[in-house]
């Protein structure tokens, strides 16, 4: 299975950052950065991911915590995304946290991990991977 990651370019052709997000206008619209969606190569078109991603990773921000942890999780669950993760990237690596859900045979998410700091997430869904939350914020 081959995976690719798509990333939109931000200012000057570089990836968007949290600073770019903070600099968005206060015009009543909701702006956010899509930090990570992983899909199968064959599911990408020239302009979009035409199928549900196999992994969606949401990076929390203080202003959208409830939306990110509930509404988005429910949307990815309905779409059939096999794995959904939420990363809380606090400033101190020892407090960084990753919560992971996997889709069950009944089409519902089941929480399979909640790790912080140097603790390790090892998963096989959607592919074999090892993640340490503290490494994500260093």
**What number is the average pLDDT over the span 81-110?**
94
Rounded distance between C-alpha atoms, residue 42 and residue 17, angstroms = 28
The pLDDT score that the predictor gives to residue 4 is: 40
Contact 74, 103 (CB under 8 A): no
Map the chain to HEC letters. Answer: CCEEECCCECHHHCECCHHHHHCCCCCCCCCCCCCEEEEEHHHECCCCECCCCCEEEEECCHHHHHHHHHHHHHHHHHHCCCEEEEEECCCCHHHCEEEEEEECCCCCEEEEEEEECCCCEEECCCCCEEECHHHHCC
Q: Which CATH superfamily is domain 32-136 in?
A: tt1808, chain A (3.90.1570.10)
| Whole-number pLDDT of residue 42 | 93
Instruction: Taking residues 11-37, report their average pLDDT.
Output: 71
The residue ranges of every structural domain in the chain are: 32-136
Q: Which residue has the higher pLDDT, 49 or 2?
A: 49
What number is the average pLDDT over the span 93-113?
A: 96
Q: What is the pLDDT of residues 44-62, one digit of tens each?
A: 888 888 999 999 999 887 7
pTM here is: 0.77
Portion of the chain with pLDDT greater than 70, in percent: 83
CA angle 123, 5, 56 (to 5 degrees): 50
Q: 33-37, 68-72, 86-90, 112-116: which has the minimum mean pLDDT?
A: 33-37
């Amino acid at each position: 299975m081959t995976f690719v990651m798509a990333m939109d370019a931000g200012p000057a052709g570089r990836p968007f950052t949290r600073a770019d997000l903070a600099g968005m206008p206060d015009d009543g619209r909701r702006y956010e950065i899509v930090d990570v969606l992983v899909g199968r190569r064959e599911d990408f078109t020239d302009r979009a991911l035409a199928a549900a991603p196999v992994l969606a990773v949401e990076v929390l921000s203080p202003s959208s915590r409830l939306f990110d942890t509930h509404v988005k999780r429910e949307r990815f669950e309905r779409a059939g995304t096999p794995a959904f993760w939420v990363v809380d990237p606090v400033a101190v690596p020892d407090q960084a946290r990753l919560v992971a859900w996997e889709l069950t045979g009944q089409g519902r998410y089941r929480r399979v991990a909640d790790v912080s700091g140097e603790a390790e997430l090892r998963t096989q869904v959607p592919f074999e991977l090892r993640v340490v939350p503290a490494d994500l914020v260093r």
